[in-house]
Amino acid sequence: MAKIGVLVSGGGTNLQAIIDAIANGRIDAEIGMVVSNKAGVYALERAGLRNIPTRVIDHRQYPSTVEFTRAILEVMQTSRIDLICLAGFLRIIDRLLVDAYPNRILNIHPALLPAFGGKGMYGHYVHEAVIASGVKYSGATVHLVTDETDVGPIIAQGIVAVEDNDTPDSLAAKVLGIEHQIYPQAIQLLLEGRIKIDGLRVRIK
């Protein structure tokens, strides 16, 4: 059975969505490891409740992004992880993880990439920028992780309307609901080998 490694930094609602999807048979895999760059985050509680192994790899204890990434890679390889999912993970990883897991690292972004992506575009800032821009729709994107931030081939997207009375918080809540739907779907598509990459385009076989 495929083993998933999940990288987290905070509340872990996307981790929970993956846990729930595995429990109800929508993802045919197990979570072999949850790694957080921060101790005490609720994502680690969520993993603990399901007896999923966890590690805290604190980026502040490493002299460089390369060393930090190498520590993550060692844990993932030791745990015999097949697929890595970034789920609310807020740190930059070095390309050595991508090189070790080619087309086997996924990320979820709370906007419709390539719009509202890249440096500084995470969490609340994304939704503030979306509302300020006047766009009528936002949503979430699941993409393959490459050596650049937020620009890998897109596997799945879902949209929500941006209402006139939306605030960053109300929009975040709507987008989070989409994330929890499309992330498990994208993971299962990849595990089933149905992802065909054609440049930046992903065709679902």
Chain residues that interact with ligand GRF, rule: CB under 6 A: 8, 10-15, 43, 87-88, 108, 110, 123, 176, 179
Q: Residue 86 Cβ, how far from ligand GRF at the closest point, in Å?
A: 8
For residues 18 and 5, what is the distance between their CA atoms, to the nearest angstrom? 11
Q: Residue 187 Cβ, how far from ligand GRF at the closest point, in Å?
A: 13
Our CB check for ligand GRF shows the closer of 46 and 104 to be 46
For residues 132 and 124, what is the distance between their CA atoms, to the nearest angstrom? 12
Task: Examine the residue annotation and report whether 109 is marked as an active-site residue of this protein.
Answer: yes
Our CB check for ligand GRF shows the closer of 98 and 108 to be 108
Our CB check for ligand GRF shows the closer of 43 and 93 to be 43
Our CB check for ligand GRF shows the closer of 70 and 185 to be 185
Write the burial class of residue 50 (CB in 10 Å: 0-12 exposed, 13-18 middle, 19+ buried).
middle
Q: Which residue is nearest to ligand GRF (CB)?
A: 88
Of 109, 127, 143, 180, the catalytic one is: 109
Q: Residue 180 Cβ, how far from ligand GRF at the closest point, in Å?
A: 8
Q: Residue 82 Cβ, how far from ligand GRF at the closest point, in Å?
A: 21
Question: Hey, which residues are catalytic here?
Answer: 109
